[in-house]
Every structure is written in structure tokens, then in C-alpha cells.
Structure 1
Amino acid sequence: MSGGDTTAIEEGLTRALARVGLSAPPGLARLTGGATMESWKFSTSGEDYVLRRAPSLEFIAERPMSHAGEAAVIEAARKAGVTAPEVLTVLEESDGIGSGFIMRALPGTPNPKEILAMEGAGTILREAARDLARIHSLKREDLPADVPVMDYRAAIADLRAQFEEAGGDRPIIALGLKWLEDNCPDPCEPVLNHGDYRMGNILAEGGHLTGVLDWELAHFGDPHEDLAFGCMAVWRFARYDRPALGLGSLEDYFAAYEAESGRTVDRERFRYWLIHRTVWWAMGCLRCAKVWRDGSDRMLERVVISRRTSEQELDLLMLLEEDAPEEERALPAEPMIEPDETHGEATSGEIAVAISEWLETLKPLMQGHNRFQLAVARNALGMIARDDDIVPRVTEPDLAQAILVGEETLASPGLLRELKEAALEKVMADVPKYPALAVAMKEWTGEE
């Protein structure tokens, strides 16, 4: 962001902070991450604060809940004993810096790598279960009226509409959508869901949970949805072996949640929502390419996230294959084809590697969000380089549509093996260090 833009944010902050008796901030630092929202940290009157904002009202025009509503949910959760931040004030149009709110900064790191390396992972897991139970205890009368309520069937229909809009040509996602339609559970008494409760949106320090962030997806729904989302393979990062948030076992997670909430976790509903949110995030990744192409968000991170669709396809197939006949599951996927040695002039992939290596030399010069963007750029170049080593990616609209209408299923001879090979190939190109890839390779091909 340019110096002029930073100056405009500082001026708007001055107006907003005056409402709560605080002085103007001396400086701003853009925090890394933030797929849909900006976060800026600053200090004033001897304390640290965070501005969370969307640059314009148009940017969040389709959100079901306003920032004022989100701020009210956060405050209600904090008063219920959740480790949520204190919201000081909500931005007003006259502040001139978009939509958002200012909150008191909490201690701790959101970095999954650092949290997962902490001693006392079991303690953080129990505290996470406790906070989730407290979120689920909040009553409708304590929350703003614009908190949406999930209709399970409508949510599936929306995912299917997104799928068709994106081309309707991904067989594994089609398989997931058909499974959701066939296995959607009956509604239960809705509770407040955080909606994005996972590693990356919690803070921890010294082996303890210190904060729960990013409440923009809060809604009323099935408590199992919140429980399942953080247990997706993608959010366990390097700790694939710890199925509960990357911190521990599902048994310990469920026991802690049940003790705090008084509810019993239904394993079948948990599995449903694990599959539902995996399809949901696969579509979220695909949508990132759309918003980049149509110009509504030209951030480099969008195109990189779009290629992470392959992670979700791999995870989805690993979740669904247990429903396939044993004879289909037993068919081994073929090992990956080794690329031929390249001769002659440099390929596009080699050029991408050269640019990536040069960017690495700039890393010491970068700070904050720019350092994060440099890492994203290098990831993008790595994807281009690895594309040289695989068969060009192919979409299969006819197969996807046949799956959606039930003409092809996991019982179809050879289909599961075909989908396994496609999933492995795509993840090898897109995210070769994805932890689930090594597990899938061993299970599906016998290779370590």
C-alpha cells in the first residue's frame, strides 16, 4: 500500500479513535494474511490495537452480516468468557476509511507453525473446545438480528450453483456435492457458530489459548459444523497426525467439548460437516480465480489460493473413499510418471525458478505484508515450474455431470482409481509439500 493510502487510514483512525477518547496513532503496520479483510496494528496511549477493515462498502456488499453485527457478536462472546478481543468502536462512513472496527490487540501468535510447536498442545486443544462450547451457548436474544441462520439444503444448493458457474467440470467435487445431497442430516436446534474456527484464526502463547479472531462468518447452525471445520486436513498444517486442529486426538477434543457444553458429539454429523466444509473450501479456492479474473480483487494471493483447490480434492476423495466397494478401494493408483530430462533452451518452468531464486535475495529487504507477499509470489512461481513436469491438467465436464446425476458412482469400475491418480497429479504440481499428499501416496500407490 502506498504512503498516501497509509496517510488516509491514519487520518480516518484519528477520527474514529477520538470517539473513544484515544489519540491519533503514530504509525501503522499491515499484518500478514487476511484473505478477505485487511488488518492493521498500531499503538496509542501505551497499548496495542488492531484495525480490521474492508477498503470499501462495495467490497463487502454481499456479506449477510454487517461489521457492526460482527463487532456485536465478538463483544457478546467476550462477555460469555470466550477469549475474544474487546471491540472499542465501529467505523462510521464519516471516518472515510471503509467498513470495519477497532479492537484491543490480544497477546500471542496466530502462526500455526509456532502454535503447533508449543509444549502443552493438549492444553490449547482443551481451551479451544471450551471456547467453542461457550460460543455455542450464546442466545439469539444476546446477538444482533442480522446474524444469518444456515439452511442445510439451501447451503448445498448454493455450493452446486457455484460449481456450475465455475464450469461444473471437476469430478471429485461433483462426487462431494452428490454425497452431500444424498446424506444431508435433518436440522438440529441451531447454535451460534463462529464459522471459521481453525488454526490460523486463534492466538496462543506459552502453551495457552489467548484469542479467537475472524468472526465474519458467524451464523446459526449445527454445532458439529464448527467442530469439524478446524479438523479439516488443510487446517492441521504439518500435524496431519493430530486430527483435532493439529493439536491432538478427536477423542480428547470431543471429551473436552462435551464436558463444557453438556452436548454429545454425533460422529456421523461430524463426518457430514467435515465433508461439507471441504467442498465449501474447494469452491472458495476456485472462486478466488474468478474474483481475480473479473478484476474485483487482483491480489496475487488470489491466484495462488485458487490452485489450492487440488488440496481439497485430495482430502475430499480420502474422506469419501470409505464408501466405495472394497474391490475398488483395493485397486492401486499408478505411480507418478517421471518427467524426461529437459534439453535445449530454458523452459517456462526454469525461467520461473530463476525468478523465484532472485526474489529470495530480496527477502532481507522486506517486512510485514510485503514479506508475506514475496513468499506468495515464490509459491506462485513454484506452481508454474512444476507444471512443466506433469501432464497438462484436464477438466472432465461430462464425467462430473454424470456423477452429479448418479450415473457414475464410487462403485463404477475403475472410477476411484482414476480420481486418485488425477488428485495425486494435481497436488504434486500445486502443493507438493501438502502433508496429506504423503499419506495419500502411501495409501494409494504404496510409495513412501
Structure 2
Amino acid sequence: MSTATQVSELAARVRGALARRHPGAPVGELRPLPGGHSGLTYSVSAGEAAYVIKAVPPGQRPVGRNDVLRQARVLGALARTAVPVPGVATVDESQPAWFAMDFAAGEAVEPVLDEPEVPAATARARMLQIASVLRRLHETDVGTPGLDAPEPLDAAGELNRWSRTLHAVPSELRPGGEELLKRLADDVPDGLPPVLLHGDFRLGNVLCVGERAVAVVDWEIWSVGDPRIDLGWFLLFADHRNFPQLGRAVPGLPTEAELLDAYGGGGPALPAMDWFRALGRMKMAAIMGHNLRRHREGKHHDPDQERLPPTIAAMIRTARDILG
């Protein structure tokens, strides 16, 4: 069966399910929604309602980032919590699986990296607000039905996983990488009780209207584990100097210390945060190095990847500086 036929059959299934949900209302065509990093993502209307459809790509297995049913489960588990997420409207487990969630209006813009530019005061307010959203996410009961994550992520496991990725990057693209990995491995901190993790928590994955966060999206890599894994990643995006040749200066963005205060809500500081700040930088260096290597090997043509070497080097250098 051709890919076009499979997509057409998916569209028929989606439109049929939404027609049953909205009897008598016109159901629009599926329109590809840009910005998704896994699976197939569409927008579709049914009468006055608007939905986003996430589906397994034709011919691919529903695992990892393509496991859309797992994404639907975490959204369902968070539906009655203080974490803003889109509501799940319909789930179809027959293959290829898909689900429909409410279309949340808003913009998800990373202030130092993305277009369009966001007013500095708005960017600051958003970043401080989502720090408290992250705290509420981490306060979610991990025993909630649907949060059947595998073995919790801990510091050692994250370090091992991303060390392998960084080692696969040519050595000339990761100057100082070996020393950074050794210093991280020499001082792995004790773990904290596991919490629900988003896996890629930042403003680029939170829809906002004005200064208000309305929906945390892109749940492909959620898990359960040490809260500082999410935090160390989130803090990366507060400073354009972490992204040479990629980032722009945004006056007045919160400092990492301010974001940690907003996350903590006046509570005690989390231990060993410098180690997790360095870990986040190492992970970014590994991801960027992996993407650049794939481009240079002809596996994924994207000339824009050639802008990454200064940022990869900066991530490694500043991670080493953080560790002292």
C-alpha cells in the first residue's frame, strides 16, 4: 500500500470519528501542522471545534517518539492537574494509531533562538511563569494511572546515555568533550525521588497567550526520573551566549538563579544543580554534534547544521567552567 493511500485512509478514519463526535457538523480536511518533531501532526476542524491529530507515520512502528498512544496517556493523566495541557478528545488504538487533542491557541517561541521576536518583558514573564509550571509538573503523583513509565531516569543513566551519543561525534567537533565526560563521571550526585519529566521542557514547547502559559506540548520523550534532569535542560535557554552564531540577546531575561527561585517557590535549593547544569550542556553538545555528523555523512541534508560548531564548543567549555 502506498504512503499516499495510507495517509488517505488515516484521514478517512479521523474524519469519521470526528463526525460521530460532532453529529451534523462539517468536518474539514486534515492539514499538516509544521513544527512537530515526530510522527504525523495535522490540524482539523469539526464545526466550531479545532483539533490537533498525532498519528504514527505509515510503515513505522509505534515505538519511541512515534508512540502516540503513550503521548495520549500522559495528557490524559495530566488533564485533572494544575499543569496546563491540551485535552484529549479521541483515541484510536487500531494501527496506525492516532489521537485527537484540543487545538490550543498560542505561540511557542524560544526567545533567544526562534522567530518571531517576543517583546523582552513578555519573554521574561513567560519564562518565570513556566518555571512554576515545571514545579507543578514535578509535583504530579507519579502513581497516576497512565504514567506507567519504564525504569526511572537517574543521573548515572542520563550520563551514560548521552556519553555514548557524544562519543559518536567526531573528536574535532567536540573539543574538551573527553575531559568534561570524565569530570561528570567522577562526581555523579545522589538521586532525588523520581517525578514526572517532560524531557524537553522550555518555552519552545509551551504555548503562551500574552504572558500566560496555556498548554505544555510535545510530550514524545516524557519519562519519570530525577527532577534536576528537566531543570538543567530548561536553564540552558535563558542565555543567548550559550548559542554562539545561533542566539540573540534578549534584555532582561531571567538569570538561571532567578529561574531556580521561581521553580522552588521559596523552598530550599536543590542539591548538586551545577552538575545537572553541566549535564544539560553536554546533552545539547551531543545532540548538535549528532545532527551535524548526520548532515556531513549525507544521512540528513541540512546545510544549516554547519552553524553549530561554535555552539557545540561553547556548551562543552561552559559546562567545564560550571564544574569549576
| Number of the residue aligned with 2:177 | 173
- Structure whose alpha-carbon radius of gyration is higher: 1
| Number of the residue aligned with 1:410 | none
| Number of the residue aligned with 2:319 | 319
The structural deviation recorded for 1:82 is 1.2
| Number of the residue aligned with 1:68 | 69
Partners of 1:108 and 1:240 lie apart in 2 by 20
Would you say 1:286 and 2:293 are equivalent positions?
Answer: no
Partners of 1:62 and 1:10 lie apart in 2 by 23
Partners of 1:197 and 1:108 lie apart in 2 by 17
CA contact (8 A) 2:106 2:209 kept: yes
2:100 aligns with one of 99, 102, 127: 102
| Number of the residue aligned with 2:129 | 127
| Number of the residue aligned with 1:86 | 87
Would you say 1:218 and 2:228 are equivalent positions?
Answer: no
The structural deviation recorded for 1:115 is 6.8
The structure with the greater share of residues assigned to helix is 1
Would you say 1:230 and 2:261 are equivalent positions?
Answer: no
Q: Residue deviations 1:196-252, cap 9 Å, x none?
A: 11121111112222221111221122222222212214885424665xxxx423343
The structural deviation recorded for 1:104 is 0.3
Amino acid at match of 1:257: Y
Paired residues in the alignment total 309
Partners of 2:255 and 2:162 lie apart in 1 by 30
| Structure of higher RCO (CA pairs closer than 8 Å, 6+ residues apart) | 2
Q: Residue deviations 1:258-309, cap 9 Å, x none?
A: 22xx74233x6322222212222222233335666899xx6645x6447535
Partners of 1:299 and 1:59 lie apart in 2 by 20
CA contact (8 A) 2:206 2:214 kept: yes
CA contact (8 A) 2:175 2:316 kept: no
The 1:16/1:280 distance shift into structure 2, 3 A limit, reads farther
CA contact (8 A) 2:274 2:323 kept: no
Would you say 1:252 and 2:258 are equivalent positions?
Answer: yes
CA contact (8 A) 1:87 1:104 kept: yes
The 1:278/1:69 distance shift into structure 2, 3 A limit, reads same
Amino acid at match of 1:216: E
The 1:206/1:54 distance shift into structure 2, 3 A limit, reads same
Return the TM-score normalized by structure 1.
0.60
| Number of the residue aligned with 1:34 | 36
Partners of 2:36 and 2:135 lie apart in 1 by 25
3-state DSSP of counterpart to 1:140: coil
Partners of 2:60 and 2:307 lie apart in 1 by 26
| Number of the residue aligned with 1:390 | none
3-state DSSP of counterpart to 1:211: strand
CA contact (8 A) 1:87 1:102 kept: yes
Q: Residue deviations 1:62-82, cap 9 Å, x none?
A: 45x943222121222231121
Partners of 1:241 and 1:42 lie apart in 2 by 38
Q: Which runs of 5+ in 1 are unaligned?
A: 325-448
Would you say 1:158 and 2:161 are equivalent positions?
Answer: yes
| Number of the residue aligned with 2:109 | 111
The 1:144/1:19 distance shift into structure 2, 3 A limit, reads farther
The 1:4/1:145 distance shift into structure 2, 3 A limit, reads closer
2:279 aligns with one of 276, 279, 297: 276
3-state DSSP of counterpart to 1:41: strand
Partners of 2:285 and 2:182 lie apart in 1 by 15
Return the TM-score normalized by structure 2.
0.80
CA contact (8 A) 2:104 2:214 kept: yes
Partners of 2:30 and 2:49 lie apart in 1 by 13
Partners of 2:35 and 2:155 lie apart in 1 by 30
CA contact (8 A) 2:165 2:286 kept: yes
Partners of 1:234 and 1:253 lie apart in 2 by 9
3-state DSSP of counterpart to 1:271: helix
CA contact (8 A) 1:118 1:207 kept: no
Amino acid at match of 1:81: A
Amino acid at match of 2:82: G
